[in-house]
Amino acid sequence: MATVALKDVSKVFPNGTLAVDNVNLDVNDGEFMVLLGPSGCGKSTVLRMVAGLETPTSGAVMIDGEYANDLTPPDRRIAMVFQDFALYPHMTVEDNIAFPLKLAGMESTPREERVASVATALGIGDVLGRRPSQLSGGQRQRVAMGRAIVRRPRLFLMDEPLSNLDSGLRAELRAEISGLTRELGVTTIYVTHDQAEALTMADRVAIMRKGVLQDVGTPTQVYGRPATLYVAAFLGSPKMNLLEASVYVHLDRYVALNLGEQSLYLPWGDIRSRAVAHYHGERIVVGMRAEALTPVAPDAPGDVLRGRIRFLEHHGHESLAFLDIGATAVVVDEMGSRVVEEPDVGSRSLRRGLSQVVQRLTGRSVE
Residue 100 binds to ligand ATP (criterion: CB under 6 A): no
Strand, coil or helix: 240: coil
Residue 209 binds to ligand ATP (criterion: CB under 6 A): no
Nearer to ligand ATP, 40 or 326 (CB): 40
Binding residues with ligand ATP: total (CB under 6 A): 13
DSSP assignment string, 79-125: EEE-TTTT--TTS-HHHHHHHHHHHTT--HHHHHHHHHHHHHHTT-G
Whether 80 contacts 155, CB under 8 Å: no
Whether 20 contacts 10, CB under 8 Å: yes
Nearer to ligand ATP, 234 or 254 (CB): 234
Could you tell me the CA-to-CA distances from 283 to 41, 87, 231, 288, 361 in Å, in that order? 30, 56, 20, 16, 10
Cβ 53 to ligand ATP shortest distance, Å: 10
- Closest residue (Cβ) to ligand ATP? 44
Nearer to ligand ATP, 39 or 237 (CB): 39
Residue 17 binds to ligand ATP (criterion: CB under 6 A): yes
Cβ 210 to ligand ATP shortest distance, Å: 9
Residue 142 binds to ligand ATP (criterion: CB under 6 A): no
Nearer to ligand ATP, 53 or 327 (CB): 53
Cβ 159 to ligand ATP shortest distance, Å: 8
DSSP assignment string, 148-195: HHTT--SEEEEESTTTTS-HHHHHHHHHHHHHHHHHHT-EEEEEES-H
Candidate segments 10-18, 94-102, 269-277, 319-327, binder of ligand ATP by CB under 6 A: 10-18
Instruction: Determine which residue in the list 15, 72, 109, 347 makes contact with ligand ATP, applying CB under 6 A.
Output: 15
Residue 13 binds to ligand ATP (criterion: CB under 6 A): yes
Residue 245 to residue 97: CA distance in whole angstroms: 58
The length of the chain in residues reads 367
Residue 279 to residue 227: CA distance in whole angstroms: 16
Nearer to ligand ATP, 201 or 245 (CB): 201
Residue 187 to residue 193: CA distance in whole angstroms: 20
User: What residues from 189 to 208 belong to the interface with ligand ATP (CB under 6 A)?
Assistant: 193
Residue 34 to residue 192: CA distance in whole angstroms: 7
Residue 214 to residue 227: CA distance in whole angstroms: 7
**What is the 3-state composition of the chain as percent helix, strand, coil, each rounded to the nearest 5?**
30, 30, 40
Cβ 361 to ligand ATP shortest distance, Å: 29
Nearer to ligand ATP, 181 or 192 (CB): 192
Residue 164 binds to ligand ATP (criterion: CB under 6 A): no
Cβ 89 to ligand ATP shortest distance, Å: 25
Residue 241 binds to ligand ATP (criterion: CB under 6 A): no
Strand, coil or helix: 235: coil
Nearer to ligand ATP, 194 or 334 (CB): 194
User: What residues from 19 to 58 belong to the interface with ligand ATP (CB under 6 A)?
Assistant: 19, 37, 39-45
Whether 325 contacts 235, CB under 8 Å: no
Cβ 211 to ligand ATP shortest distance, Å: 7
What number of other Cβ atoms are within 10 A of residue 337's Cβ? 13
Which residues form the interface with ligand ATP (CB under 6 A)?
Answer: 13, 15, 17, 19, 37, 39-45, 193
